[in-house]
Amino acid sequence: MVSCCQFPPETAHCIWAAADEANAGEGSCYSLPLLVLILVLVSGACFGQIRAGAARRVITPDLVRHAPIYLAGFDNNRVATGVHDDLFARCLALAAGQPPLVICGVDSIGLFLEDVERIRAGVRERTGGEVNVIVAATHNHQTPDTMGLWGPKPGMSGINEEYNRFVVERTAEAAVEAVSSMRPAMIVAATKKSAELAGFLNDTRPPVVLDPDLMVLSAKGRDGRAIGTLVNWANHPEALGAKNTLITADYLASFYARLEELGGGVAVFVNGAIGGMQSPLGAKVIDPETGRAAPENSFRMAEIIGRRVAELAFEVARGAKTAAIDRIEFREKRIEVPVANLGYRMAAKADVFKGRKPMNANWTTSTLVGFVRMSHGRRPLLEIALVPGELYPELSRGGVRRYSGADYPGAPIEPAIKGMMKAPHRMLFGLANDEIGYIIPKAEWDKKAPFLQNSQKRWYGEINSTGPEAAPLIIGTIRELAGLQ
Q: Which residue has the higher pLDDT, 61 or 34?
A: 61
- pLDDT of 17 > 80? The answer is no
Which pLDDT score is estimated for 457? 85
Q: Note whether 386 and 417 are same-domain residues.
A: yes
- Mean pLDDT, rounded, for 375-385: 95
- pLDDT of 385 > 60? The answer is yes
**What percent of the chain is predicted at pLDDT more than 70?**
90
Which pLDDT score is estimated for 15? 42
Containing structural domain, residue 32: 4-48
Q: Note whether 312 and 425 are same-domain residues.
A: yes
Q: Note whether 274 and 340 are same-domain residues.
A: yes
Q: Note whether 34 and 86 are same-domain residues.
A: no
Q: Note whether 282 and 348 are same-domain residues.
A: yes
Convert the pLDDT of each residue in 189-243 to its tens digit.
Answer: 999 999 999 999 999 899 999 999 999 999 999 999 999 999 999 999 999 999 9
User: Strand pairing partners for 104?
Assistant: 91, 135
- pLDDT of 11 > 60? The answer is no
- Mean pLDDT, rounded, for 295-303: 97
- pLDDT of 445 > 50? The answer is yes
- Mean pLDDT, rounded, for 19-44: 41
User: Looking at the whole model, is its pTM more than 0.75?
Assistant: yes
Q: Note whether 158 and 299 are same-domain residues.
A: yes
- pLDDT of 48 > 80? The answer is no
**What percent of the chain is predicted at pLDDT more than 90?**
84
Which pLDDT score is estimated for 438? 97
- pLDDT of 6 > 70? The answer is no
Number of domains forming the structure of the chain? 2
Q: Note whether 379 and 413 are same-domain residues.
A: yes
Mean pLDDT in the chain? 90
Which pLDDT score is estimated for 485? 60
Q: Note whether 15 and 152 are same-domain residues.
A: no
Q: Note whether 106 and 57 are same-domain residues.
A: yes
Q: Note whether 82 and 204 are same-domain residues.
A: yes
Which pLDDT score is estimated for 2? 31
Q: Note whether 187 and 321 are same-domain residues.
A: yes
Q: Note whether 29 and 138 are same-domain residues.
A: no
